[in-house]
Amino acid sequence: MIERKRYASAFGNQAISILITLFGLLVLTFVIGRVMPVDPVRAIVGEDATREVYENVYRQLGLDRPIWQQFFFYLRDVVTLNFGNSIRTGQPVLNDIGRVLPATIELATFAIIIGAGLGAPMGVVAAVNKDRWPDHLVRILSLMGHSMPIFWTGMIALLVFYAGLGWVGGSGRMSQFYIGMVPERTNFLLIDSALAGQWDVFRSALNHIILPASLLGYSSAAYITRMTRSFMLDQLNQEYITTARVKGLSRRQTIWRHAFSNIRVQLVTIVALAYGSLLEGAVLIETVFAWPGFGQYLTANLLIGDMNAVMTCVLIVGLIFISLNLLSDILYRVFDPRTR
């Protein structure tokens, strides 16, 4: 009975925390839409519209109402999932985002698999070999990945691996020849092409995603490597590691079964934050590779002052990070029984 009350209390506190965070996110998004130096009415009617047309649209958007009423109507629209139409495409904003977000999710998912798959082992190797040549090599590689501009490495990689060697595909999600051949069921190109049995399209999509995902993965691996090294150094200096060695455990068992197991909870947060950053921060790599994703959509609409699209994109980015933090909390309880 006491255990149930404890779980119910923890769940209630978590729900309250999420609701407060969501409300703060809505307030922040609304404020951003009002303080940005962009006239949403002028973006709709154009520079040559008459004063009468301008004032009519101004009233239609509700900008003549008090600020608290505008916020109330904004909350109502969010709850009913009414985010309006995009000025640039003329389509509902949610439809646009449903079309472009899967492309970024595919790219970011491949990138974080590469980043975590490289970053965690490299960080462990660096920590175990502290101040020796493997440590120096890993630190140099991670420093390069963190320091080099992603748009520069993207252009160099295209010149070398696509134009020069022909090992990978070029810009876009697939070759121009295959556009329109796969019905868009989920908007995840790899999944849709597999469901349709279009394996040529699947191979083309996989060939095109390898290079941008690898570059993003290398960039995130640099961050994950540095954090893993720091966490491992802290654990390797603990007394229980010395005790394990005295008891005769092998070097491999001491490192991976004991030290690495104790940093898994911390790595969950690091990987989750890195994944969220990839989802909302892949603008440059999407631009270089002409990748029709979420970042490119947000940038294009921001440049023309399409506030419906911009505010919705900002809200979705916030929801992504809230969801990843919630997932991290759940994984905490899976990996660390002390937090249950």
Phi and psi, residue 199, nearest 5°: -75, -25
With CA atoms as reference, report the closest residue to 295 among 150, 82, 79. Answer: 150
Locus of tokens 């849709």: 192
Decide which of 29, 54, 79 is a domain's last residue. 79
Average pLDDT over residues 110-121: 90
Average pLDDT over residues 168-193: 80
Do 153 and 46 lie in one domain? The reply is no
99: pLDDT strictly greater than 80: yes
| Residue 339 amino acid letter | T
pLDDT value of residue 113: 92
How confident is residue 2, by pLDDT bands cut at 50, 70 and 90?
Answer: low
Do 66 and 141 lie in one domain? The reply is no
Digit-coded pLDDT (tens) for 229-287: 888 888 888 777 777 777 777 777 787 877 788 888 888 888 888 888 887 667 778 88
User: Domain limits at 22?
Assistant: 2-79
Would you say residue 86 lies in a domain? no
pLDDT value of residue 5: 64
Do 190 and 288 lie in one domain? The reply is yes
Strands (E), the chain: none
Q: 85 - beta bridge partners?
A: 92
Do 173 and 271 lie in one domain? The reply is yes
The total of structural domains in the chain comes to 2
Do 16 and 143 lie in one domain? The reply is no
pLDDT value of residue 275: 87
Distance CA 113, CA 220 (A): 10
Q: Measure the N-to-C terminal CA separation of the chain; round to a whole number of Å.
A: 16
Do 7 and 140 lie in one domain? The reply is no
Would you say residue 84 lies in a domain? no
Do 73 and 178 lie in one domain? The reply is no
pTM score: 0.82
27: pLDDT strictly greater than 60: yes
Do 106 and 240 lie in one domain? The reply is yes
Decide which of 55, 79, 103 is a domain's last residue. 79
Averaged confidence pLDDT in the chain: 80
Phi and psi, residue 85, nearest 5°: -105, 150
